[in-house]
Amino acid sequence: MDEPTSSLTQSEVNQLFEIINALKNLGVSIIYISHKMEEILKISDEVTIMRDGKYIGTWLAKELTMEKIIKSMVGRELVNLYPPKTNTPGEVSFEVKDLTSTNPKSFKNVSFSTHRGEIFGIGGLVGAQRTELVEGIFGLRSIKSGEIYLHNKKIEIKQPHSAVKHGLALVTEDRRGNGIFGVLSVRDNVAVASLDDFVQFHFMLNNAKLNQLAETNIKKLSIKTPSTKTKIQSLSGGNQQKVIISRWLAVNPDIFILDEPTRGIDVGAKYEIYSIMLDLANQGKTIIMISSEMSELLGISDRIMVMCEGRLSGILDRSEANQEKIMALATAYM
Amino acid sequence: MKKFLNNLKGPNLKNTLVDNAMYLILLSILVLVSIVQPLFLSTNNLTNILMNSSIRILIALGVSGALITRGTDLSAGRIVGVGAVIGGTLLQRPDYAAKFFPGLADMPVLGILLLAVTITALIGLVNGLVISYLHVPPFIATLGMQSILYGLSLIYTKSQPIGGLKDDYTYLATGRILNIPILILIAIAMIGVMWFLLNMTKFGKYIYAIGGNESAAEVAGVNIKWTKIRVYILAGLFYGLAGFLLAAKSGGATANYGIGYELEAIAACTIGGVSTAGGVGKIQGIVSGVLVFEMLKTSLQFLRVPSDLQYVAIGTVIVIAVAIDIRKYLAKK
């Protein structure tokens, strides 16, 4: 099983584990791949750890602790799961007023505003319509009513093309589905959204500069790839995600929307992605991050908006937020 | 070349063979047939193959854009036919007895060429609009266009064959510059144009992006509708030019010109490594695909394979060639 729980709810996960245990008792061997440490420790008898395509070792699960696993996965002691927060939110940068989807089962009457230099988390259970909301903002889904303001100016976004023009960026939840161009090179994957900046004499691309762009980003985000010409599909999930982030960095947007940015990514790469987010926030960018991982929401956000059944159920400040309050809001309308 | 030979020595032999399968097939056809029929290597015959390929390459270049964006173009052959009948009917000798338009003055070749490609580009535009805005799958949209154009061509020509073309029109196919046939020079120029568009422009990058993952292209801000429309307009231009030259080459035209050419062009592109899964395809592949295809047809004639059996052989080679060629993409996944 390869990351079988990445889109399951907690009760579904428990159900899956019951099935796995039943199979185990019948004498079936199960190979279970996961980046979620708690799961690994809960379900396995023996654990094999790999890093960068190499075998690191095999241990009995009862001999392992979370720290030991992380250490072997990252190759060094990882003291903190989250980088220290250094950003300070400024004035309002982006505002959504009373946004309602054309689909009556999707998001309705959502209003929120975000600030420069802020990491704005969006939490909720699977099915809370968070992805639909940000895709609606980005012009990928149709909207019945509502307004969007960027730097206090009203903007119209009918399609992703205009969202990008206004300085919005979206790292989607489904990396394979609408993130990467699997058969294209790392270079083309990085460059696709910012090609306008590389046109010379009005029609011709400067391929040397495109290579440079890719190489700079590979270094800056320490993307592990044999070359800029490598097809992105042969990279690991974490490195693919960093390529997609580079794609948007090249456009230099003001508002970054990240939908489950660390799903299916190992702890080392997660830390690097958090660092990039903080870095961007320090530069005065706004980060809107959807996450289903409670600890991630609490660890990196300045404020957390929680949704339930398509409606906004509350916005918590970092200082007052905790797991119980988020859970209560996530189930508020159920 | 040195690198190629070095690779042959190492453990990479198998990879090298697979990566260059198409060129090896091309080479082995050449060697095999020339042993059996030394005349195959005569300048005359080779020039002939290249001249036949020249027109086919134009069509393959046109259809390749559609294929790379995960579309297809079944109207290619019929658009070639339109280009041919426009050239044929408007560029007859002034003194030709059975003129299609009896009162028509002597028309300039270049002017009629522009007219022909404008009309075929407009046909491409219609294909693009139907695919982008009416969301009709390319297979069906261009299948419909194929039938519409065939009917219109028959009506326009009154189902009559057109002959008696002007000398300065047929010169395009018979003439040479620096002893190189003009037809081949045109093909080389168009290969250059398409290479430039695919590799050096935003348009080209968007073609690969849409083929690679249309949803991801949309999120990245690529204007998908407009890019696809341009792909089909460009294809129309290439087909129109091909049809115009085809009439010049054969000294006449009928509404049947170019029938089935779309399938040969799609087969040649696929042989040349253009993936039907989208996002993959290089100019050198497309060109060698067409050359392999044309050489194969000529070889079979040289080997005196009965014409019925030639269809069987061609079909078999297409499938085998693609099966070998696709290994290089499978292996690297």
The residue of B219, B326, B329 whose CB has the most chain A CBs within 10 angstroms, and thus the best one to mutate to test that interface, is: B219
The span from the CA of A4 to the CA of B241, in Å, is 54
User: Residue B219: what pLDDT?
Assistant: 95
List, in order of start, the domains of chain A with CATH numbers: 10-74 (no CATH), 92-330 (3.40.50.300)
**What is this model's ipTM?**
0.84
Report residue B57 as tokens.
């390459």
pLDDT-derived band of residue B333, with 50, 70 and 90 as boundaries? very low
Q: How far is A207 from chain B (nearest CA, A)?
A: 7
Q: How far is A145 from chain B (nearest CA, A)?
A: 22
Mean pLDDT value of segment B108-136: 96
Cβ–Cβ below 8 Å for A233 and B333: yes
The span from the CA of B309 to the CA of B322, in Å, is 20
Q: Which residues of chain B have a CB within 8 Å of the CB of A178?
A: 213, 215-216, 218-219
Report residue A318 as tokens.
């970092």
Question: Which chain A residue lies closest to B212 (C-alpha atoms)?
Answer: A181
Q: Given CB atoms, is B114 within the 8 Å cutoff of chain A?
A: no
Cβ–Cβ below 8 Å for B221 and A191: no
The span from the CA of A151 to the CA of A153, in Å, is 6
Which residue of B209, B275, B332 is in closest CB contact with A192?
B209
Which one-letter amino acid corresponds to residue B167?
Answer: D
pLDDT over 60 (residue B303): yes
Mean pLDDT value of segment B226-253: 96
Mean pLDDT value of segment B311-328: 78
Q: Which residues contact A41 (CB under 8 A, 6 or more apart)?
A: A47, A61, A64, A66, A69
**Percent of chain B having pLDDT more than 70?**
92
Query: DSSP alpha helices (H): ranges in chain A?
Result: 10-25, 37-43, 66-74, 130-137, 160-165, 175-178, 186-191, 207-220, 237-249, 267-282, 294-300, 323-330
Q: Given CB atoms, is B43 within the 8 Å cutoff of chain A?
A: no
List, in order of start, the domains of chain B with CATH numbers: 42-331 (1.10.3470)
pLDDT-derived band of residue B40, with 50, 70 and 90 as boundaries? confident
Which residue of B200, B213, B220 is in closest CB contact with A193?
B220
Question: Which chain A residue lies closest to B331 (C-alpha atoms)?
Answer: A234
User: Residue B97: what pLDDT?
Assistant: 83
Cβ-Cβ pairs closer than 8 A, A with B, add up to: 80
The span from the CA of B278 to the CA of B290, in Å, is 19
Cβ–Cβ below 8 Å for A180 and B216: yes
pLDDT in tens, B104-117: 888 899 999 999 99
Q: Which residues of chain A have a CB within 8 Å of the CB of B222?
A: 161, 192
Which residue of A138, A172, A184 is in closest CB contact with B209?
A184
pLDDT over 60 (residue B3): no
Average pLDDT value for chain B = 89
- Count other C-beta atoms under 10 Å from residue A283's C-beta: 12
Question: Which chain A residue lies closest to B226 (C-alpha atoms)?
Answer: A161
Q: Which residues of chain A have a CB within 8 Å of the CB of B205?
A: 188, 191-192, 195, 205
Cβ–Cβ below 8 Å for A191 and B219: no
Cβ–Cβ below 8 Å for B279 and A205: no
The span from the CA of A190 to the CA of A246, in Å, is 6
Which residue of A164, A178, A181 is in closest CB contact with B279?
A181
> Between β-strands A168-171 and A311-317, what pairing exists: parallel, antiparallel or unpaired?
unpaired
pLDDT over 70 (residue B325): no
pLDDT in tens, A151-166: 999 999 999 999 999 9
Cβ–Cβ below 8 Å for A203 and B201: yes
Q: Which residues of chain A have a CB within 8 Å of the CB of B215?
A: 177-178
Cβ–Cβ below 8 Å for B213 and A178: yes
User: Residue B330: what pLDDT?
Assistant: 63
Question: Which chain B residue lies closest to A244 (C-alpha atoms)?
Answer: B220
The residue of A165, A171, A192 whose CB has the most chain B CBs within 10 angstroms, and thus the best one to mutate to test that interface, is: A192
Question: Which chain A residue lies closest to B330 (C-alpha atoms)?
Answer: A183
pLDDT in tens, B48-95: 899 999 999 999 999 999 999 999 999 999 999 999 999 999 999 888
Distances (CA, A) of A118 to A301, A304, B236: 8, 11, 51
User: Residue B7: what pLDDT?
Assistant: 47
Cβ–Cβ below 8 Å for A140 and B222: no
Q: Could you say which residues of chain A have pLDDT below 50?
A: none
Are the beta carbons of A282 and A312 closer than 8 angstroms?
no
Report residue B47 as tokens.
């020039």
Cβ–Cβ below 8 Å for A160 and B218: yes
Chain A interface with B: residues with Cβ < 8 Å: 138, 140, 159-161, 163-165, 170, 172, 177-184, 188, 191-193, 195-196, 199, 203-205, 207, 231, 233-234, 247
Q: How far is A86 from chain B (nearest CA, A)?
A: 30
